[in-house]
Amino acid sequence: MRMRLMLVLCAALALTVGVATATADGPGNSDAAKACQKGGWQKLVREDGTPFKNTGDCVSYAAQGGKLQPACVAGSENFSGFTPGDQPTTFAGGTIDTAYSTLGGVFGPIGAFTGNSLFTGLSTYSFQLTFTKAVGSVQLDAEPNNFGSSHQLTLTGSDAANNVVDTDTVTAAAGIHLNALAVSDGNTIKHFTIAADAGSQGIFFSNIVWTCN
């Protein structure tokens, strides 16, 4: 009788171990492991946004039930969905960090302007935006709010520690003139700033596009 009981218990234990092993090696974990391999871990993060150290770190997190998230998400913003006069504090990719000055906000057609642009406001010469997830490149159309003279515009991309990773500078001719500026790096751009010289009396910018490397 005892021998039979022991055999039953052993069989039950073996079945339990078999089920546990099958669960751990299921299709979901297998797919996650593959996603982490061949450098894939560098394009993934944990649910809280923290990155992985290596392939093993990524695989281990997934095996413990963690959900892998893309480290970077591409997108765009042209402010067409805002009401003229708005002063948004967020955009499609993250947050708008700088406070607006006089007459700042989103404006519709003004003079020769077409479409909506975000205006920093008079006497605001630098404006910073922050991405929810770091990106590989940023491009935007910008022009100073100038009145008959040319001004210099600079787009700067910075990482999470506010270290500059890339800059792009153009000179905006007198009058209304759209300028395309772009910065890029290996998915480390967390913040970007658009700035103009003091004589510009503020900056208009629109059509922001960000991509992942």
Give the start-end residues of each E strand in 60-196. Answer: 69-70, 75-77, 90-91, 94-96, 105-107, 117-119, 126-144, 151-158, 164-172, 179-196
Q: Can you read off the two tokens belonging to residue 121?
A: 């406001």
102 with 171, same domain: the answer is yes
Residue-wise pLDDT tens digits, 95-129:
999 999 988 999 876 555 556 889 999 989 999 99
Q: Report CA-CA distances (Å) from 121 to 62, 65, 87, 124.
A: 47, 48, 10, 6
Whether residue 100 is found in the same domain as residue 175: yes
Q: Are residues 101 and 126 in the same domain?
A: yes
Residues 85 and 188 occupy one common structural domain = yes
Span 68-78, mean pLDDT? Answer: 91
In a shared domain, residues 122 and 176: yes
Query: Is residue 46 located within the same domain as residue 9?
Result: yes
Q: Identify which has the larger pLDDT, 66 or 18.
A: 66
Do 24 and 123 belong to one domain? no
Asked if 26 and 116 sit in the same domain, the reply is no
For the chain, what percent of residues have pLDDT higher than 70? 83
Task: Give the structural domain span for 134.
Answer: 75-211
How many domains does the chain divide into?
2
| pTM for this model (two decimals) | 0.76
